[in-house]
């Protein structure tokens, strides 16, 4: 029996739902092209060198074994920056990542790179607990918090500090692009960032619909951090980076999003790791802005078009083809704007379907897996530790 024949026997309600999916896919196709235009329109501004390059402490929270960690840390150790730079890495135990830091210390013979091993917990957010333990070793008042999976160029600190020096700026943050490896799941993770997160974040920021603050970079002065309650104020929050940005703004300061992006190294080796990561991101965004997150269903036009195909409509097939063309165009625009390597275009349909399944599933439950532990996300966005193995 043909699809059209099967759908003829379905209820009018299901047919209406298919029609809504087709309409949503059409709207999503237009929104995708608007995103592409906004990405291309976000031209890079000429970077200004800071009048003064103050001493900087970079805080790097570590977790577990991370591929190529020494190379990423070396880039921070070799910044084109005139001021003093202290890099503090922190871990809760002598994990493989800590061993890599010790090896790099010996190789570079550089006292700027320090390692703090401290298992003390100050809340349910292990990353923030790590940062609190590391902060006691920070020598300088200009602080840069940066996740350990971030890849930067030699002028990174100079560009960030220049933005922080502007009047009324309380913090500087960076958006990021994904860097995968030869593994399928890491490549899908990078594609999710480059074809969904990054262009959507750029569009939402340019249209004034979002005020992001990302753990890829949070640069701020120690006085501002103390004014918003210190890191301890965020020790039980899932979206600690967003919460820090919101607190800085609430204190009367601006949070500047840098006009450049940094790299985010993707490590996923299995489908389970990929889904866990994307589910945590999805439920984090849902906790921050549930209404806005619900509206992002329109950013999944290809799966909507596939659902619309159940009606047997030729219009649905045409829209599905148009959506794929729009998604490819968006990827090309992101590559061109940020000088990225060519994406795996053939993975776009698969990645879109995975992202949509995660989006739908994110509304059913409130658990996330992060840094080796399971948590429940409370209605206020706080983390509640729990053991889900029983």
Instruction: Encode pLDDT of 220-234 as tens digits.
Output: 999 999 999 999 999
For residue 386, what pLDDT is reported?
64
Structure tokens at 362: 């994110």
Average pLDDT estimate for 34-44: 87
388 pLDDT band, cuts 50/70/90, is very low
Q: Which residue has the tokens 């045409």?
A: 318
Q: Percent of the chain, pLDDT > 70?
A: 93
278-329: pLDDT as tens digits: 999 999 888 888 898 999 999 999 999 999 888 777 888 999 999 999 999 9
What are the residues whose beta carbons fall under 8 Å from the beta carbon of 93, sequence distance 6 or more? 117, 119
Determine if the pTM surpasses 0.75.
yes
Report the alpha-carbon distance of residue 255 to residue 135 in Å, rounded. 21
pLDDT at 203: 93
Per-residue pLDDT band for 48 (boundaries 50, 70, 90) equals low
The pLDDT mean for the chain works out to 89
Is pLDDT of 342 > 50?
Answer: yes
CB neighbour list of residue 49: distance below 8 Å, 6 or more residues apart: 158, 162
Whether the per-residue pLDDT at 94 is higher than 80: the answer is no
Span 210-216, average pLDDT: 90
How many other C-beta atoms can be found within 10 angstroms of the C-beta atom of residue 43? Answer: 7
Q: Is pLDDT above 80 for 6?
A: no
DSSP code for 111: T
Residue 1: predicted pLDDT: 44
Task: For residue 29, give Cα distances in angstroms to 69, 256, 297, 337.
Answer: 38, 30, 12, 20
Q: CB–CB of 197/33 below 8 Å? A: no
Highest mean pLDDT among 47-51, 253-257, 378-382: 253-257
Band (159; pLDDT cuts 50, 70, 90): very high
Distances in whole angstroms, Cα of residue 85 to Cα of each of 157, 224, 358: 9, 20, 40
Predicted local distance difference test score (pLDDT) of residue 389? 39
Q: Are 92 and 75 in contact (CB under 8 A)?
A: no
**Minimum mean pLDDT among 182-186, 201-205, 229-233, 375-379: which range?**
375-379
Check residue 167 and report its DSSP letter: T
Which residues of the chain does CATH 3.90.550.10 include?
56-283
For residues 247 and 218, the answer to whether their CB atoms sit within 8 Å is no
> Residue 86 in contact with residue 114, Cβ under 8 Å?
yes
More confident call, 58 vs 41: 58
> What is the SS3 assignment for 28?
helix
What is the share, in percent, of the chain residues with pLDDT greater than 90? 64
Burial readout 7-35 (b: 16 or more C-beta within 10 A, e: otherwise): beeeeeeebebbeebbebbbebbebbbeb
Check: CB of residue 364 under 8 Å from CB of residue 302.
no
pLDDT(132) > 90:
yes
Q: Which fold has domain 56-283?
A: Spore Coat Polysaccharide Biosynthesis Protein SpsA; Chain A (3.90.550)
């Amino acid at each position: 029996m043909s699809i059209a024949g099967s759908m003829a026997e379905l209820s009018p309600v299901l047919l209406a739902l298919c029609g809504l999916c087709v309409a949503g896919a059409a709207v999503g196709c237009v929104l995708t092209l608007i995103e592409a235009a906004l990405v291309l329109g976000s031209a890079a501004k000429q970077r200004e060198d800071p009048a003064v390059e103050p001493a900087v402490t970079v805080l790097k929270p570590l977790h577990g074994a991370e591929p190529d960690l020494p190379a990423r840390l070396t880039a921070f150790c070799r910044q084109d920056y005139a001021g003093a730079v202290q890099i503090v890495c922190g871990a809760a135990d002598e994990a493989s990542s800590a061993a890599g830091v010790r090896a790099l210390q010996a190789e570079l013979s550089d006292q700027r790179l320090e390692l703090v091993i401290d298992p003390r917990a100050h809340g349910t957010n292990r990353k923030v607990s790590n940062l609190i333990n590391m902060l006691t070793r920070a020598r300088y008042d200009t602080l840069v918090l940066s996740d350990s999976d971030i890849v930067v160029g030699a002028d990174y600190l100079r560009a960030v500090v220049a933005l922080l020096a502007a009047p009324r700026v309380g913090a500087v943050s960076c958006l990021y692009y994904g860097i995968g490896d030869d593994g399928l799941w890491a490549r899908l993770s990078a594609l999710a960032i480059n074809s969904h997160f990054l262009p959507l974040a750029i569009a939402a920021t340019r249209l004034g619909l979002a005020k992001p603050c990302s753990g890829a970079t949070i640069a701020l002065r120690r006085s501002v951090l103390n004014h918003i309650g210190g890191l301890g104020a965020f020790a039980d929050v899932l979206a600690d980076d967003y919460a820090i940005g919101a607190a800085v703004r609430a204190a009367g300061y601006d949070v500047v999003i840098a006009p450049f992006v940094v790299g985010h190294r993707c490590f996923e080796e299995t489908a389970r790791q990929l889904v866990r990561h994307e589910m945590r991101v999805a439920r984090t965004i849902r906790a921050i802005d549930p209404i806005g997150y619900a509206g992002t269903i329109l950013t999944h036009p290809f799966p909507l078009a596939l659902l619309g195909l159940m009606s047997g409509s030729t219009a649905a097939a045409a829209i599905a083809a148009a959506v794929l063309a729009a998604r490819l165009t968006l990827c090309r625009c992101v590559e061109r704007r940020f000088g990225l390597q060519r994406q795996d275009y053939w993975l776009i349909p698969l990645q879109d379907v995975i992202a949509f399944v995660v989006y739908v599933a994110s509304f059913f439950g409130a658990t996330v897996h992060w840094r080796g532990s399971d948590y429940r996300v409370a209605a206020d966005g706080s983390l509640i530790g729990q053991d889900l193995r029983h």
